[in-house]
Amino acid sequence: KQEVTQIPAALSVPEGENLVLNCSFTDSAIYNLQWFRQDPGKGLTSLLLIQSSQREQTSGRLNASLDKSSGRSTLYIAASQPGDSATYLCAVLNQAGTALIFGKGTTLSVSS
Amino acid sequence: NAGVTQTPKFRVLKTGQSMTLLCAQDMNHEYMYWYRQDPGMGLRLIHYSVGEGTTAKGEVPDGYNVSRLKKQNFLLGLESAAPSQTSVYFCASSNRDGYGYTFGSGTRLTVV
C-alpha cells in the first residue's frame, strides 16, 4: 500500500528565507507526483506536477524535484513571503492514473 | 468561473439521516473523485469515477454510495449518517492523463 510522508509537519520562518519541504513515498511505481497548496477553510490549488520520467518542475519561486528511485520529492520555495503561509500537500498518482494518495501536509507560516 | 462546484457548503445531520452531496464540473474532465479530510488523517479517497456511468471504491468507501449519471456530475450519498462521517468532503476532477486536478471548495458536514 502506497504511503506518503511529509516532513516537517509544521514550519515557521521569517520573510525572505529560502526553504525546503520534504515528501517521501513507499512505492516508486507512480504515474506522477503533485504538490498542492491549501489555505485555511479552502480547497486545494495545484502548484506543480512532475511526471514520473521527469526530475524537476519550476513555477516562479517554486521548484519541485523528484527522485523516484529513492521515493523522495522536495518543494523549494525561494524568498518566502507572508502570502506563502498555507498548508502544502504532496500527492502521488498511482500508475493506473486513478487515485491520488496524499501526505498529511506541511503547514508553513511566514512572518513579516 | 470554470471549475468544480460543490453543494451544499455546510450541513448538520442527525445520526441516521440521509443526504446527498452534489459535485459539478464544467471542464469536460473524464475522472471525478470524492475525498474526505480529517485532522491528523489527511485527505483520503472515498470513491472515484473514470467516466459517465462508472464508479469504483477508494480507500474508505464504507457508508457511502456514489453515482455518475452525467459526465459533469458526481453525487456522494450517505444513507444513514454516523458521527464518524463528520468531516470535510472535497470533490475533484481531472483529465485522463492525471493533469488538471481541480478541487472544489469543500462541504463541511457535522453528524450529531
Q: Which residue of B23, B31, B35, B43 to mutate against A (max A Cβ within 10 Å)?
A: B43
**pLDDT, tens digit (0-9, with 9 covering 90-100), for A58-112:** 999 999 999 999 999 999 999 999 999 999 999 999 888 888 999 999 999 999 9
Q: What percent of chain A has pLDDT over 90?
A: 89
**Residue B43 to residue A102, Cβ atoms within 8 A:** yes
Rg (CA), chain A: 13
Give contacts of A 42-71 with B, CB under 8 A.
42-46, 49
Instruction: Report how far residue A22's alpha carbon sits from residue B32's, in angstroms, rounded to the nearest whole number.
Output: 28
Residue among B95, B88, B87, B47 at smallest CA distance from B71: B95
Beta-strand (E) ranges in A39-94? Answer: 44-51, 56-59, 62-67, 72-77, 86-94
Q: Which residue type, as a one-letter code, is found at position A84? A: D
